[in-house]
Structure 1
Amino acid sequence: MNRTLHLTEQLISRPSNTPDDAGCQAILAARLAPLGFVIETLVSGPDHFRVTNLWAKRAATPVVPAQAATELIVFAGHTDVVPTGPLDQWQSDPFTPTHKDGKLYGRGVSDMKASLAAFVVAVEEFVAAQPDTALSIGFLITSDEEGPANDGTVIVCDLLKQRGERLDYCIVGEPTSLERTGDMIKNGRRGTMSGKLTVKGVQGHIAYPHLAKNPIHQLAPALAELVAIEWDQGNAFFPPTSWQVSNIHGGTGASNVIPGEVVVDFNFRFCTESTPEALQNRLQAVLLKHGLDFDLSWTIGGLPFLTTPGTLVDAVVAAIKTETGLDTVLSTTGGTSDGRFIAKICPQVIELGPPNATIHKIDEHLNVADIEPLKNIYRRVLENLNARLTP
């Protein structure tokens, strides 16, 4: 068994349901410390939701010349996993790594314990071959990515910013590939902003509508207008901004009562062509135009980020081509990731991981053949970046 696969299985064996790290980060730290990494464990969150974060850094050790430029690349990810779902629907215990037909089964194997293992082994191989390097290497690992994400990566990023720590590059190990490791990477993500709209009316008997005010009827024309709006046209890297209603709640449950209010939950997934403020103003203008009596609250889950082709993207694309022969696709599709926090302190952030077809599903699994190439790609990225700095 190769080392990447073995470490992946070790991590799967830990039931690290959010926010419980279940000892995964200790396993990683034990592998990194002998390589010269300085290990910091940062615990955050309330007593009922304690989050474990790992920040580990190995400083650059350039040989000649002594004043050579150095850069910091960070591998970022999470040890926590989503709930397993009904255990009786799994073919095997979700926290017992199980092989079948060339596949490795276990909760978190794709999202994202194979990536974490590949990170570590890639760095082990790189440091063994290049003990003196112009690259500083960091690990930023959290147990609060699948949860509310209030006490995970964002906490570490804030601390690094306070310290004046400069990050040059970051690879997030999210499962970005489709059919084969390396066929797609994410060079950005859309922002996410949710709203809760309460439209007020007057409750009354349904047989006497003139004595009541139906907020659902009042909202309907405004809702139709909002659905039809083109918020922007997107750009070369992002699809157009999307506005979607997720929930509508109105009524008492009785069939003869006009409700006194209706509550609508909605979400924007927005690109770099729009700002949160502009979207909020445009939506509120529609509500005011229709004369609605409403309350509206907003939650910004993350701003969009984009890494245009440049040093990091070029190094990753070349590594994938050399290792797999694939011409990778750059994409900004999908949901949010912790890259949204890291992008605030790091100018170049990409996401690269194994295929994502079974993430969060019953019987999550990954082709074993996708694991070792992932490690090799990460190692080749390190080699490519280091070659730029080595005279």
Structure 2
Amino acid sequence: MSTQFPTDPAANLATLIRCPSVTPAEGGALSALHEMISPMGFAVDRPVFSADGTPDIENLYARLSGNGPHLMFAGHTDVVPVGDEAAWTHPPFGAEIHDGMMYGRGAVDMKGGIACFVAAVARHLEKNGPLKGSVSLLITGDEEGPAINGTDKLLEWAAKRGETWDASVVGEPTNPNTLGDAIKIGRRGSMSADIVVHGRQGHAAYPHLADNAVRGMVTLVEALLHPAFDEGTGDFQATNLEVTTIDVGNPALNVLPARAKASFNIRFNDTWSVETLQAEIRNRLERAAGRTELRPGREEKIAFDLVWRDRPSPVFLTRNEKLTAALGASVEAVTGRKPQLTTSGGTSDGRFIKDYCPVVEFGLVGQTMHMVDERVAVADLETLTQIYQRFLEDWFS
């Protein structure tokens, strides 16, 4: 039996890394995972979802059924592009091991987490026999892309088939420095928008005859950056708004532009909802539009448009003592570290899963994710597998 079951996380990861699944390509990764888990008795579906203007995405849903609670492990096999391949010390899809480190795109984000969880389930079955419940794998190929034809639709598809879950673990690389540092129990929300300021083109030597859109944009941007939106809460760090680009498209140094565009992203805590934060930002801009310090002689307000990007991500926090206690105890038992329960970092597919069941995130150390020479310590793969295995035993008991 042991020769059939994928109990070695390093071997599992090497198989997955060697599949060049750069989003949105499946790259053989889901097929490799399908072949890996089938001997354990998982029933596997691989639905493909589509939407106008986005690539078709293949996903994988697999369930090992038993009597008892249902645990979902969620993740993704798609990876970001390798960047400058010549800058890699080892081939990005080679899964080569050097000085105890396995190199490859997706090593930590997040094929490594998948490889370890699969190994943990395999070891659990060999040691204890059938699970006292059900385990499912919800794996997308769209997390690093637009996230339109992936986890969100896969959850809806599974729910329509009657699937329900008691809890979920997302295997993203959550640990900042050392395995066992942190479990993520929530995420701040995220929204993006564009501001377009409309002025009047003119000669730089005759500003009174024009209305420089840059002056208006500087005024509006300043209103968004100051004062701070909040000071944070007991569970979340402070809200921060970051202007990510300001574009004028003006090639002439002696021409005042008639149009300026800025884009921003804001990460927000549970002080705000999507609706209240959008209202606050609109109010700040409306008030600032009447300021004239940078537009002397102008009585009319700054003319601007505010356009919200699609699909804001709401803030969420998981309060489920059984889930967090069982995972925290498993981490501490294996590593000797008591993990911090944190909500730091960006968004993840947990924002979709939270609508179906309690969700937490725990995976490898994320220091090299998305970088050239992405890599993971082979020893960490074994440690994470042991954590997942102990968690399975504790949670199902």
Compute the TM-score of the two structures, normalised by the length of structure 2.
0.91
Give the superposition deviation at 1:251.
4.8
Per the alignment, residue 84 of structure 1 pairs with 82
Per the alignment, residue 306 of structure 1 pairs with 317
Classify the secondary structure of the residue corresponding to 1:312. Answer: helix
Asked if structure 1 preserves the Cα contact closer than 8 Å seen for 2:90 and 2:96, the reply is yes
Per the alignment, residue 8 of structure 1 pairs with 13
- 1:368 and 2:378 are equivalent in the alignment: yes
> Residue 324 of structure 1 is aligned with which of 325, 331, 335?
335
Q: 1:372 to 1:195 in 2, by over 3 A?
A: same
Between the aligned partners of 2:354 and 2:97, the Cα distance in structure 1 is 37
The one-letter code matched in structure 2 to 1:317 is G
Per the alignment, residue 61 of structure 2 pairs with 55
Output one character per residue of 1:322-363: Cα deviation in whole Å (capped at 9) or x when no partner: 1111111111111111111111211x1111111111111111
Between the aligned partners of 1:3 and 1:134, the Cα distance in structure 2 is 23
Matches within 5 A, 1:201-212: 201-212=199-210
Classify the secondary structure of the residue corresponding to 2:45. Answer: strand
Per the alignment, residue 267 of structure 1 pairs with 265
Asked if structure 2 preserves the Cα contact closer than 8 Å seen for 1:199 and 1:215, the reply is yes
Asked if structure 2 preserves the Cα contact closer than 8 Å seen for 1:323 and 1:376, the reply is yes
Classify the secondary structure of the residue corresponding to 1:122. Answer: helix
TM superposition outliers: structure 1 runs of 4+ over 6 Å: none
Structure 1: gaps spanning 5 or more residues? 62-69
Output one character per residue of 1:363-391: Cα deviation in whole Å (capped at 9) or x when no partner: 1111111001101111111111111xxxx
Between the aligned partners of 1:209 and 1:183, the Cα distance in structure 2 is 57
Give the superposition deviation at 1:228.
1.0
Give the superposition deviation at 1:304.
1.6
Give the superposition deviation at 1:292.
2.5
Classify the secondary structure of the residue corresponding to 2:59. Answer: strand
Per the alignment, residue 64 of structure 1 pairs with none
Deviates more, 1:121-130 or 1:337-346: 121-130
Between the aligned partners of 2:335 and 2:181, the Cα distance in structure 1 is 9
Asked if structure 2 preserves the Cα contact closer than 8 Å seen for 1:231 and 1:279, the reply is no
Asked if structure 2 preserves the Cα contact closer than 8 Å seen for 1:20 and 1:50, the reply is no
- 1:385 and 2:391 are equivalent in the alignment: no
Matches within 5 A, 1:156-175: 156-175=154-173
Matches within 5 A, 1:331-350: 331-346=342-357, 348-350=358-360
Output one character per residue of 1:291-315: Cα deviation in whole Å (capped at 9) or x when no partner: 3211111123421221135111101
Asked if structure 1 preserves the Cα contact closer than 8 Å seen for 2:175 and 2:182, the reply is yes
Classify the secondary structure of the residue corresponding to 1:220. Answer: helix
- 1:225 and 2:230 are equivalent in the alignment: no
Give the superposition deviation at 1:230.
2.5
Deviates more, 1:52-61 or 1:312-321: 52-61
The one-letter code matched in structure 2 to 1:59 is S
Aligned length: 378
Classify the secondary structure of the residue corresponding to 2:60. Answer: strand
Per the alignment, residue 216 of structure 1 pairs with 214
Per the alignment, residue 41 of structure 2 pairs with 36
Between the aligned partners of 1:34 and 1:251, the Cα distance in structure 2 is 58
Give the superposition deviation at 1:162.
3.0
Asked if structure 1 preserves the Cα contact closer than 8 Å seen for 2:9 and 2:119, the reply is yes
Structure 2: gaps spanning 5 or more residues? 1-5, 290-300
> Residue 130 of structure 1 is aligned with which of 128, 131, 135?
128
Deviates more, 1:129-138 or 1:261-270: 129-138
Classify the secondary structure of the residue corresponding to 2:168. Answer: strand
Per the alignment, residue 26 of structure 2 pairs with 21
Between the aligned partners of 1:368 and 1:35, the Cα distance in structure 2 is 24
Instruction: Give the fraction of aligned pairs with identical amino acids, expressed as a percent.
Output: 39
The one-letter code matched in structure 2 to 1:314 is A
Give the superposition deviation at 1:223.
2.2
Classify the secondary structure of the residue corresponding to 1:318. Answer: helix
Give the superposition deviation at 1:164.
4.3
Give the superposition deviation at 1:32.
2.4
Between the aligned partners of 1:235 and 1:130, the Cα distance in structure 2 is 43
Output one character per residue of 1:174-229: Cα deviation in whole Å (capped at 9) or x when no partner: 11112322221211111110010101111112222222111221232332222112
Asked if structure 2 preserves the Cα contact closer than 8 Å seen for 1:15 and 1:95, the reply is yes
Give the superposition deviation at 1:48.
7.4
